[in-house]
Structure 1
């Protein structure tokens, strides 16, 4: 049975803390059918009422601006409805209203209660209280599409918003059991320790924000750009590059995935979780009368790893990572060792531990040393990301070792090289 994919909006509320930016995570009651017991960000599906023309007129952003800011893959009115759904969901779930107004606090509280009881719409509230809805305060950062096989599927746009000064979140109704403010790095650590549960879109968002120091930095370095088409290039009979255009769910941040093998394939770095790129990789393997037998990651940054769980579950294959690579991931992976040959590929495919960009970073020698899947070793990182600190000494040593072990290999980098990039190997 085909499950309808519903548009949705998710808002990552942030505030400054003593040790850095903190995010709001809410906990859904364990009795809930969908995501019970999970730590999530406020959000929900886009309703028909979010596209009300009277509501649009109250928005700071207009439809064309909304569409452009999300990467250009939605019609203008659909894009603005997604922003307005984010405003509404944040107000309903956390009591935080991103709007200019002169209404007293008790009127705002009463309006929220009426909205939760379905006795009012955001459009009617905006009219009654003369709200100017600050859709410009929602900073888009990513898009996540629920993979096939689940009973509910969403096409969710993720936004960051700053907690307004003097406002504290409040919770009423039965959708939130508790809440926590955490630094992204603390949230990831708690997930690894097992004290909180998250799905991949949530944990990946924490990874994306882990090294951000300000809202300005997030807006300048993480917001989407125009969505490009998927590109497929056969580099050799057994080596195909798939340029996936939305790594980590961010339009305008391409990642080079690689399909390697003759009929027994490994898929390297499927970093785009939005769907079409993963479909294309599976189709290519099928067209060649073969199958993908493993998903392999050069590192677990979201721009390399965001689509891995989806395609691996779909195909019933393992996700293979470097030493310690499973720590920031909320699903089971298999760690692979240095100099190991992977049996899942019918072409020689040798693992090299190549720390530097990350401690779990890997590279792969393909065939008889003709190609090297180098990931981020060439120095080009995600175009719309804030990478963590690197180990430059280890990085230089990894490059020297790779050159020694595969001196004649053509390097296959993790990202397309921008025209203005300075790459030193």
Structure 2
């Protein structure tokens, strides 16, 4: 009896094993047969591609519409008594059905294509919103597979262009820094010569050399500031929370002796409550200094320079009652090395260009008002407010 039970158990186990083996064999055969089809499907319609998206989006509704059309045709031809219908009625009914079917298919196609082009539109919008100085790589998340190589090539071009621009800025900064030491030595030699007894012609030449040296030293300093301000990421690392009203009051106070020397009064209107912004104090000091220096240099006949600080939005402006800027020059005064044909004062043409770069590095906006709309010249700087750590681009 025991041996018979053991035999029964063994037979059952062998049958189960055979059944399992047949199942695995069948599944292996099916997977082997399906694998070429799956590979062909993935090759023709890769994952994330626009073709796959449109196929999966459009095929089901089109098949459903075709099924509806076939069903309606079958009902008309098989279930309706055509004896009481005339050919004209049948023609117009079938024509109306086909028109409706074409309209539905067109609607499905348009909606499917729009959904497929959503990634293209998002990429186009991202490029449109970029500022001219933002050379960060474009995002490829959610972009169709067909356009990913194009985006990668664009990103490679942006990286190479950014590297070239950074190398150019480093060269300008290094050259300006290297020139500053010999120019300072030349200036010192001129001062030592002028301190002693010199013939009139030699003194005149030494004074001209000293004036040119001073101008070259200032040009080198402006180039250094311009190279630093044009690097947005480096500027943000030095941002601090600043009370704009107090900062303008302290910085403008250092220009009072220079204003008095030009016989110009310096006025300030600022609120007593704090006006907070995030910025680099050294660069902002250069910005305000260039605006005041520009007003002193080119505001011929001006009697006062007025600084206004406002809280909403956080901003300040520098205005003078001088001759103003000609209308033809107002669009170009912020360009580097641009000087008006009517300018009579010596300068490098970098002052307002530095103002523009520093303002852009802080995400600020510049405004210029002059004749005939404003008596004199007024340049305003509007800040976005405190946003330290927000990691926003200039355009943001």
TM over 0.5: no
Tell me the TM-score normalized by structure 2.
0.20
Which one has the bigger strand percentage? 1
Normalising by the residue count of structure 1, what TM-score does the alignment of the two structures yield?
0.19
Larger helix share, 1 or 2: 2
